[in-house]
Amino acid sequence: MSFHLDQHGAVFSTRPKGRELRLAALSEHDSGQELHISFDGVQSISYSFADEFLGPLLLGPDRVVLDDVAPHLHRIIKSTMARRNIRLQDSELFAVTA
Amino acid sequence: MMEASDTLMRNLAQWDGAKDGWRANLPLKHYETSVVLDATALRFAVPTFLLRLRAFVEWHLHRGHSVTVLAPTNQAVAAYMAHMGVAKGLPEGTFVGLPDVSNPSESDVLIPVTQLREFQEVDELGERVYNLFLAHHSADVAAFASAMHMAVSELCANAVEHGANPCGCYVAAQRYERPQRRTVLALGDLGVGIPKHMRKRFRDLKGDRTALREALKEGVTATGKQERGIGFTSVAEEAMASQMRYATLDIHSGKAQLQQVVSPTREPAISTSTAPNKIGTWLTFEIGPCA
């Protein structure tokens, strides 16, 4: 399945919003399958949102693949991963670069 | 009587901008259930001061006091206050002598004085700010859409979460053309303040200056959660990623003030000094111009 962030907005700011959308993504996710998250149409995210939305997902049991992440958001996501000590190659995480 | 109000007023009267050196000194009259603040002699104002003024008014209104603020006789300052929406939403007659502003879009106001209480409001403001900056006709504003979105997101969310108080937090932003092109975001709350908040977890912190320095370090958080404590560093990091020539973050809280300067050409610099005690936390983030 693919969770489309742009169905919830284009600019994301807070941890509570990150938590809300993470739970929404998980509620639609079949355990044991890859979780695809589409960033198509997403314009800006804060570090706190990224950490709260992606951090626990990336530390979870299922592989997470981020689709269509705009280049300027790569830096924020990679910085979030570094802070969480998550080591993934770009090719493992980012499916398609917009 | 209004003991806390006295403290608040001393705070207001002793406001000393870290960079502009400007001080406010407004006469105040207390009555049993009302206050009159005389701002007629005001010749200059900055966004952070307007937030403090608004917080002062709402603090009194929250306690059932009536408040009257006599607006500056200086027409430019009065018009600036009106453009910044300092009286918007308050009971009629709270500000006496402010002009009507027919076309706020002609001013340099980017975010008028806005009160936030919930995270959802921070999310909404974040989106509004990003789109507003991105579409702005000035390249010195548009270039900083991401940096300002980050600042609004991280700093406002901090204020809503850690500065919790009945009045919420206040935010405003404007651009300046002189003496150099820059954008200023001001933020404030009447919460416990950073030093007291930090000491909830780090009891050995000595002095408010040290507390502010510690709060700025990545991973240092009073929440007890390992992944937290990234707000201030995130703001600096995103500013560095923009095309800015410099960015500064000024924090006034407790008996200290701190200034952080980041620029592409030198190492980030942090300086602190002692300052008159201030209730809550008051921040000014400034960025620009385009490199």
Each domain of chain B, given as residue ranges in start order, spans 1-101, 108-291
The listed CATH number (3.30.70, 3.40.50, 1.10.3470, 3.30.565) that belongs to domain B108-291: 3.30.565
Q: Using CA atoms, how far apart are residues B228 and B218, in angstroms rounded to an integer?
A: 9
Question: CATH number, domain at A15?
Answer: 3.30.750
Mean pLDDT of B271-287: 91
Q: How far apart are CA B285 and CA B291, in angstroms?
A: 18
Least Cα separation, residue A2 to chain B (angstroms): 24
A46 → closest Cβ in B154, B218, B219? B154
- The separation between CA B29 and the C-alpha centre of its own chain, rounded to angstroms, equals 25
Please report the sign of the dihedral spanned by the C-alpha atoms of residue A69, residue A72, residue A78, residue A83: negative
Chain A contact for B262 (CB, 8 A cutoff): no
Could you report the per-residue pLDDT of B178-230, keeping only the tens digit for each? 888 899 999 999 998 999 988 988 888 889 999 999 998 887 777 777 777 77
ipTM of the complex: 0.92
Range of the domain at A59: 2-97
Q: Does A84 sit within 8 Å of B230, measured CB to CB? A: no
- Taking an 8 Å cut-off on Cβ atoms, the answer to whether B153 and A46 are in contact is yes
Is the CB of B234 less than 8 angstroms away from the CB of A46?
yes
* Position with higher pLDDT, B93 vs B2: B93
In terms of average pLDDT, the best of A6-10, B62-66, B201-205, B243-247 is A6-10
The percentage of residues in chain A with a pLDDT greater than 70, rounded to a whole number, is 97
Interface probe with B: pick from A14, A15, A42, most Cβ of B within 10 Å? A14
Q: Nearest Cα to B87, choosing from B79, B62, B121?
A: B79
CA–CA separation, B81 vs B71, rounded Å?
Answer: 9
SS3 B106: helix
Confirm or reject contact between B127 and chain A (CB < 8 A): yes
Question: Which residue in the set B119, B126, B154 is minimally distant from A47, CB to CB?
Answer: B154
| Option in B123, B150, B227 nearest A84 (CB) | B227
Among A10-24, B118-132, B160-174, where is mean pLDDT lowest? B160-174
pLDDT at B101 over 50: yes
Please, which pLDDT band fits residue A20 given cuts at 50, 70 and 90? very high
Q: What is the pLDDT of residue B2?
A: 41
* B153–A83 CB contact, under 8 Å: no
Asked if the Cβ–Cβ distance from B119 to A75 is below 8 Å, we say: no
- The verdict on a CB contact (< 8 Å) between B145 and A44 is yes
Per CB-CB distance under 8 Å, the chain B contacts of A84 are 227
Q: Which of residues 4-63 of A touch B (CB under 8 A)?
A: 9-17, 43-44, 46-49, 51, 55
Number of domains into which chain A is organized: 1
Best of B153, B240, B242 to substitute, by most chain A Cβ atoms within 10 angstroms, is: B153
* Residue B252: its H or E element: strand B244-263
